[in-house]
Amino acid sequence: MLRHPAAAPLAVLVAGTAGAAWLYVTDPHEPGHFLPRCPFHYLTGLLCPACGGTRMVYDLMHGQLAAAWLDNRALLLAAPFALALLARWIVAGLRGRRWRPEPSPRVQGLVVTAAVLWTVLRNVRS
């Protein structure tokens, strides 16, 4: 079955909006809420590159930029690029085109290297 090129990006947008709505009323800084735990942190006790992302998004939605910065600087800096990619995917889909980003091996290596360095830095520092 063929589906419209906008179906997948719009489904991601709807799921993200629903998740953001749930997070808006669920403070991840307080214990006892139904929010997923980081499996990497749970198993190793170390912070992964995305640890603090849930708190960061919550803080951003509540206008706490300084707190979001402290939660996860790397994700905060990467968020505009991720949102731009989502917007480009949605626009292409609405225009009837399938769009799939194909970063070069150099860009992929840069992203992986940055994630590894961020992981090491934040675990050595804490």
pLDDT tens for residues 62-75?
A: 999 999 999 999 99
Write the single-letter amino acid at 93.
Answer: G
pLDDT tens for residues 20-34?
A: 999 999 999 998 888
The pTM of the full predicted model, rounded to 2 decimals, is: 0.86
Mean local confidence (pLDDT), 51-58: 95
DSSP collapsed to 3 states, 38-65 = CHHHHHHCCCCCCCCHHHHHHHHHCCCH
Q: How far is CA 20 from CA 63, 72, 103, 120, in A?
A: 14, 17, 27, 29
Q: Is 99 helix (H, G, I), strand (E, B) or coil?
A: coil
- What residue segments make up the domains of the chain, in order of their start? 7-125
Q: Given this model, what pLDDT does residue 72 score? A: 96
- Dist. CA 17–CA 21, nearest whole Å: 6
- Dist. CA 111–CA 115, nearest whole Å: 6
If pLDDT is split at 50, 70 and 90, which confidence band does 2 have?
Answer: low
Residue-averaged pLDDT of the chain? 93
